[in-house]
Amino acid sequence: MPINKEKLETRSRVSENRPKFIRAESWRYDRLRTTWRKPKGVDNHQRKQKSRGRPGLVKVGYGGPRASRGLHPSGYTDNLIYNVAGLETLDPKSDGVRIGHSVGTKKRLAIVARSSELGLKVFNARVTKVGS
């Protein structure tokens, strides 16, 4: 059962009303993916919101609730860690750990071992024994 369940439910309820933002003209050309890119053309119809039926633009008002920002889907806060010293200030009841991408296997093993001692949840442990 996730912690901060009410905050996660609020976030999902708000996101149900948010439109699906897709890239301009992505439905027209196969070479364009649907991932969002801001339309910047002088005469771009989507940017100008010229005609009805065009997809919406990303705006500040579509953001999620402030209370649930920065929460991992498990309900813990997401904290990016690069070394063992970064674990000491975290609270195991509310904080989770995400190990940085550039951290190597040896240091990653040390971080996972120390976080298990402290009772912290690691979101991306993916470690094996050194040398295997």
Instruction: Specify which residues 98 forms β-bridges with.
Output: 80
Q: pLDDT averaged over the chain?
A: 91
The reported pTM is 0.74
Residue among 58, 53, 62 at smallest CA distance from 27: 53
Range of the domain at 99: 77-122
SS3 67: helix
- Span 104-121, average pLDDT: 94
Q: Is residue 87 assigned to a domain?
A: yes
- Total domains in the chain come to 1
**Per the domain annotation, does 103 fall within a domain?**
yes
Domain annotation covers residue 101: yes
For residue 65, being part of any structural domain is answered with no
The pLDDT confidence band at residue 131, using thresholds 50, 70 and 90, is: low
Averaged pLDDT for residues 10-35? 94
Question: Is the residue at 96 inside a domain?
Answer: yes
pLDDT value at residue 3: 87
In this structure, is residue 95 part of a structural domain?
yes
Instruction: Please report whether residue 51 resides in a domain.
Output: no
Cα 27 off chain centre by: 26
Is residue 43 domain-resident? no
